[in-house]
Chain A
């Protein structure tokens, strides 16, 4: 057992876990945040994507101990107060989810993608960037639409603020 401490959605947390505990299980079981999902055992579906120190990471592909002292953000940490993050709002607005199981990972991947590309995201790039996330329900079309719309909106907000 090891004590693993980190900042999770802005809060300092810690827990004693087995050495082999994956970050995703630390988040889901030790911290009880079940928005992050497990959809595979070969790091290929992206249902488990969270942000570690500002970058999208498949939380099934790293040990909790490797995230010790890191800043970790999960889908639960995106909305500010009652306000949805623009990517969350866009997924709803454009019907980018059906069963919702892939959704947290899709949203975290999308936020990371928009952070990297800003307003320069086109359909082709979005589809390519979604390579690590599987959705069995939506056929991706509305996910792509949602990400494009959120990217445009966020870059417009950024320009307005500047």
Chain B
């Protein structure tokens, strides 16, 4: 592959196995004597479990066991917990209801598991699961979060009166109220953020293998963070102590947040493997994924923006109700609070912000972080109200934003965040130029001549990645630290293994992490392997989510590399009888500056391991580890502009062009960064135009397959035009910010602003289906006629 350092468009090292069908995903793993698990799931959204009769199922061919929640509880398996404590504004802790991996008493959403069948084949397990007779006593269900808070609504958990989990505040309410008194103009709107299903293409899967003699469990699973899974399974769910539990996340087919959490099924496989004395495999089918993978978004908000006479924002007030579903998933409480309300300042200098968030239980699938996690909800709200306010006061959307941009850094917002660096004018200018904003009026007129409605909309997003530092998130309620670890092992022949706690499930770490080593030592990237995803190999790590692997994970590698370099230089200096300060590393060699004396990296590595001639007192070997805890979040930002054409006859929206101008700080591999943006934009456009997890009033998910849940396909999206602008992040050694989620965060408001511009009607909610757009077009035409 050659020497490919920072900034190179290096082709991916991992691709060969994926394009030849040699990837190794969890479902590809087969162990001797393996049994298959199939779950018995509730068809009701809310019901008492009266009885479970497994007699017929147990008689069926190949069936080994049917296990229920009573047995699970009796075996001491712990309840599933939310790992981030949020306190309500009155100081009381959040009201967390009990969640068991198999529910023995009351089911609270359709698809919740009450029993599991273990059989010799997947087909036999599924047949037997159908034959388990469960008697339910149906209870009234509630799916709407506002209705759930009303007196007399069905109650999900005894711990949470009126289904309220917490009632939380951020910002200075009095200051906001005072500013509103002074406002020259107030823009007010209601904004819904639709519920989504993450839909990684690889469904979740688990293979659990219990070794009785060693009292040791191995779990192969589709996880973004195997170490966190092991910690939680050990410390809270009582599966086994950490040294008796190995978690391996092999190739994982996409995550987008949904594979962060420890779900009932993986726990049950571990427990069942011990119970039945054989390895147990479970593979989720797509319908099960729709019913049980943590969903995303689902916010209802009211927002008010106060402007002074000069159209400067003086205050922002938001009230949000977040639907968390039937149970509190692992990080569910942090998403609508610290990952959401802290971003409500957007790119703007807003002196006073206040936000109230109520989180609510409903009889729906649990909701947690999905690509962007809180920041898309904040961005959608901020960027829709910015566009709306600009229209109301008669300023161009770009001018109104520019008037309010933050331009000096660091900038302390009124909602915790301190932005470290950015240049919002630069990305706005780049995007306006790329889309030829000035030429829009002519394009609109041309479209009108064909009977089509053209619209243009923008979104100037900011987001926060690499959530940290650990002490700060701890003080805000996080149950874990958010650092990352790395170990750099130089082998005696000079090849290198990098062990990281980050996990790649599409991000290309095997390539980008190797580029760091290539850059530092001038080695071929083929001389480097990345080791990740196995708790037996990598000591500890926090995994990959929140666009943290670059800013946090790679920074840990850099720290370890510093130590390796220092030791290698000491050895080289000693061997060449030179001063340590005169040693330079270049092209895979350690040279004495100003002389022709040099040693290859391999010679130095070998010397470290033969240890025949090392500096006095130096330990043999060349291997160093590091833990890196950042000092702040990073703040990627940018401008997205979308141009659409709506057909008023059909309500169908076509995206004509979409430009993205992003500031991700320094970039290791532009090719991979572009791929991340393409994917993120497509998910955001999916949210804006197509995707919606819809329930009927009885709590049945009516979009539980690809027939009803509309995934973005190749002909739903355009080719995107991307550019990047760099302001270095001062908070980490590589100056990186993160790029994994920006596309999904910034794009929905750009699309919706474009459509509302086209149809001249602002009452649009996501997804902007042709039916809804057509209705609004009819309304606008009627209004125009009157």
Which A residues are closer than 8 A to B by beta carbons? 18, 20, 28, 32-42, 44-45, 47, 74-76, 78-79, 84, 88, 91-93, 95, 97-104, 107, 123-124, 126-128, 130-131, 133-144
Please give me the 7 A-B residue pairs with the lowest Cβ-Cβ distance, nearest first: A35-B21, A101-B253, A100-B18, A139-B678, A99-B506, A139-B682, A98-B506
The reply to whether the CB of B201 lies closer than 8 angstroms to some CB of chain A is yes
Whole-angstrom distance from the CB of B222 to the nearest CB of chain A? 10
The answer to whether A98 and B201 touch across the interface, beta carbons within 8 angstroms, is: no
Return chain B residues, CB-CB under 8 Å to A103: 18-19
- Residue picked from A20, A36, A41, most chain B C-beta under 10 Å: A41
A interface footprint on B646-689 (CB within 8 Å = 1, 0 otherwise): 00000000000000000000000001101101111111000000
Q: Which one of A38, A75, A91, A140 lies within 8 Å of B682 (CB-CB)?
A: A140
Known: A92-B16, A136-B683, A142-B678. A104 touches B21 (CB 8 A): yes
Query: Closest CB of chain B to A156's CB: distance in Å?
Result: 21
Compute how far the CA of A44 lies from the CA of B709 in the bound complex, rounded to whole angstroms: 11
B715 touches A127 (CB 8 A): yes
Closest to A98 in B: B506
Which of A36, A75, A95, A134 is B675 in contact with, Cβ under 8 Å? A95
Query: Which chain A residues border B22 with CB–CB below 8 Å?
Result: 35, 76
Please give, as numbers and ranges, the residues of chain A lying within 8 Å of B14 by CB-CB distance.
100
CB of A40 within 8 A of CB of B286, answer yes
CB distance B713 to A41 under 8 Å?
Answer: no
A135 proximity list for chain B (CB < 8 A): 201, 714
CB closest residue in chain B, given A42: B705
Closest to B22 in A: A35
If A95-B11, A99-B202 are given as contacts, then 20 extra A-B residue pairs at C-beta distance below 8 Å, sorted by A number, are A36-B21, A37-B27, A37-B253, A39-B202, A40-B286, A42-B706, A44-B706, A45-B706, A91-B15, A91-B19, A92-B11, A98-B507, A100-B253, A102-B201, A104-B21, A126-B714, A136-B254, A139-B717, A140-B713, A141-B717
Chain B residues contacting A124 (CB-CB under 8 Å) are 715
Given the known interface contacts A41-B287, A44-B706, A99-B505, the answer about A88 and B253 at a Cβ–Cβ threshold of 8 Å is no
- Can you identify 11 A-B contacts, CB atoms within 8 angstroms? A35-B22, A37-B201, A44-B705, A45-B286, A88-B20, A98-B508, A99-B202, A139-B677, A140-B682, A141-B719, A142-B675
Q: Which residues of chain A have C-beta atoms less than 8 A from B200's C-beta? A: 99, 101, 136
- A104 vs B253: C-alpha distance in the bound complex, in angstroms? 12
A-B contacts at CB below 8 angstroms, number: 178
Residues of B in contact, count (CB < 8 Å): 59
A101 and B25 in contact, given A35-B20, A141-B719 (Cβ under 8 angstroms):
yes
Q: Which A residues touch B507, using CB under 8 A?
A: 98
Are the CB atoms of A127 and B11 closer together than 8 Å? no
Indicate whether B28 reaches chain A with its CB closer than 8 angstroms.
yes
CB distance B682 to A42 under 8 Å?
Answer: no
Is the C-beta of B203 less than 8 angstroms from some C-beta in chain A? yes
Q: Is the CB of B675 within 8 A of A100?
A: no
B292 vs chain A, min Cβ distance (A): 14
Answer whether residue B720 sits at the interface, using C-beta atoms and an 8 A cutoff: yes
Instruction: Give the chain B neighbours of A139 by CB distance below 8 A.
Output: 675, 677-683, 717, 720, 743
B251 at the A/B interface (Cβ < 8 Å)?
yes
A144 touches which of B11, B12, B256, B714 (Cβ 8 Å):
B714
B252 at the interface (CB under 8 A from A): yes
With A38-B27, A45-B706, A95-B675 known to touch, is A84 a contact of B201 (CB < 8 Å)? Answer: no
Would A131 and B714 count as touching, CB distance under 8 A? yes
Q: How far is the CB of B525 from chain A (nearest CB, A)?
A: 14
List, in ascending order, chain B residues with CB within 8 A of A32's CB: 30
Q: A35-B23, A139-B681 are in contact. Are A127 and B256 (CB under 8 A)?
A: no
Q: Kindly identify which residue among B15, B287, B675, B714 contacts A127, using a CB–CB cutoff of 8 Å.
A: B714
Choose one: B21, B121, B283; the contact of A76 (CB below 8 Å). Answer: B21
| A137–B23 touching, CB < 8 Å | no
Asked whether any CB of chain A lies closer than 8 Å to the CB of B93, the reply is no
- The answer to whether B285 has its CB under 8 Å from any CB of chain A is yes
**Which residues on the A side are within 8 Å of B672 (C-beta)?**
95
Name the residue among B14, B23, B121, B203 with the largest chain A CB count within 10 angstroms: B23
Interface 1/0 per residue, B688-721 and A, CB below 8 Å = 0000000000000000011100010111010110
Assembled-state Cα–Cα distance A139/B675 (Å): 8
CB distance from B746 to the nearest CB of A (A): 14
Q: Which residue of B15, B19, B28, B705 contacts A40 across the interface (Cβ within 8 Å)? A: B705
Q: Is the CB of B705 within 8 A of A33?
A: no
Contact of B19 among A84, A101, A144 (CB under 8 A): A84
Interface pair A144/B719, CB less than 8 Å apart: yes
- Whether A41 contacts B286 by the Cβ 8 Å rule is yes
Contacts of A143 in B (CB 8 A): 714
**What is the minimal beta-carbon distance from B200 to any residue of chain A, in angstroms?**
6
A79 CA to B22 CA, complexed, in Å: 12
Pairwise interchain contact B202-A101, C-beta atoms closer than 8 A:
yes
Contact A98 B679 (CB under 8 A): yes
A97 touches B719 (CB 8 A): no
B21 contacts which of A74, A99, A130 (Cβ < 8 Å)? Answer: A74
Q: How far is it, in angstroms, between the C-alpha of A102 and the C-alpha of B507 when the chains are bound?
A: 15
Decide: B714 and A93 in contact? CB cutoff 8 A: no
Instruction: Determine if B199 is an interface residue (Cβ-Cβ < 8 Å).
Output: yes
Would you call B285 and A41 a contact (CB within 8 A)? yes
B705 — nearest CB in chain A belongs to which residue? Answer: A42
Instruction: Say yes or no: is B620 at the interface (Cβ < 8 Å to chain A).
Output: no
B residues near A34, Cβ cutoff 8 Å: 21, 24-25, 27-28
Task: Closest A residue to B9 by CB, please name it.
Answer: A95
With both chains docked as a complex, state the minimum distance between the C-beta of A77 and any C-beta of chain B, in angstroms. 9
* A75 interface neighbour in B16, B20, B505, B674, Cβ under 8 Å: B20
Q: Is the CB of B19 within 8 A of A92?
A: yes
Decide yes or no whether B158 CB sits under 8 A from chain A.
Answer: no
User: Are A130 and B201 interface neighbours, CB within 8 A?
Assistant: no
A131 and B20 within 8 A (CB): no
In the assembly, what is the distance between CA of A135 and CA of B285, in Å?
17
- Contact call A130/B19, Cβ cutoff below 8 A: no
Q: Mark B61-97, 1 if CB is under 8 A from A, else 0.
A: 0000000000000000000000000000000000000
On chain B, the residues within 8 Å of A141 by CB distance are 678, 717, 719-720
